[in-house]
Amino acid sequence: MTEKLHAPVIAWFDAHARDLPWRRPEAGPWGVMVSEFMLQQTPVNRVLPVYEEWLARWPRPADLAKEAPGEAVRAWGRLGYPRRALRLHGAAVAITERHGGDVPTDHAQLLALPGIGEYTAAAVASFAYGQRHPVLDTNVRRVIARAVTGVQYPPNATTAAERRLARELLPEDERTAARWAAASMELGALVCTAKNEGCGRCPIAGQCAWRLAGKPEHSGPPRRGQTYAGTDRQVRGKLLAVLREAHAPVPQAVLDRVWHEPVQRARALDGLVADGLVEPLPGGLYRLPLG
């Protein structure tokens, strides 16, 4: 079963993969790592301009490590989930201090970097260094759930059973395994999407367990939808937008104008301070963090 999946999906990827800058040889391991941080919960079209600007400004980890962490937050722009910018800055500092400025090739060393979890370590090892690791993002999990397990959607959180199945599905050859990781991810992003799946364009539609079962409706726990309007996330984003645009500390009164509800506004600002994204100063002033 597994071998029958690999060849058609990889052949489809060879013909249909998007030309993305982090897939080009000149991106290097650092470019791959930056893309993986940025692409978490953010679509490709929003990432592309920020990614290009980031790599032009900080082409190596040491270039970013020399900057204040607040500059990473500023350059992150409106990608959302800005703690990722602080984590990427922290990883750059650790790479510079521990690995001579080169993204480590060893999976365990990648995993030991601050801000890098199981998925990112596997993705960098696979996509940057061609190693054999299961790379389980939302798209891959959905492809495996449908093609192999026969269900419409994977569980809300990655399970041990999913990890085990993903390892079993890996091709033995390292280069093929790395190609399979990228190809199955692209298939989930472009064809086997969460809604309006394109089975007519799918290279493995003929052996997809979910399709062959008649596409049964999802019967597990309700899938989590993402809301934004009116949430603390929206307020945090508005506060950070003001601080990103400012190149001097910002008075509390200026931040008070961004959101009408004072309790939620104060909670959002306190959260930004607690997360290290905003630095409070004497006299009711705030700025992006310097250290």
Specify burial of residue 280 (Cβ count, 10 A radius: 0-12, 13-18, 19+): middle
CA distance 108 to 11: 31
User: Catalytic residue at 36?
Assistant: yes
φ/ψ (deg, to 5) at 203:
-70, -15
Provide the terminal-to-terminal Cα distance of the chain, rounded to the nearest Å.
52
Q: For 117-144, give one letter per residue: b (16+ CB within 10 A) or e.
A: eebbbbbbbbbbbebbbbbbbbbbbbbb
Dihedral angle at the C-alpha atoms of 16, 17, 18, 24, nearest 10 degrees?
A: -140
Specify burial of residue 166 (Cβ count, 10 A radius: 0-12, 13-18, 19+): buried
- Please pick, among 3, 26, 36, 279, the residue that the annotation labels catalytic: 36
In the three-class reduction of DSSP (H, G, I as helix; E, B as strand; rest coil), residue 133 is classed as coil
Q: Which residues are catalytic?
A: 36
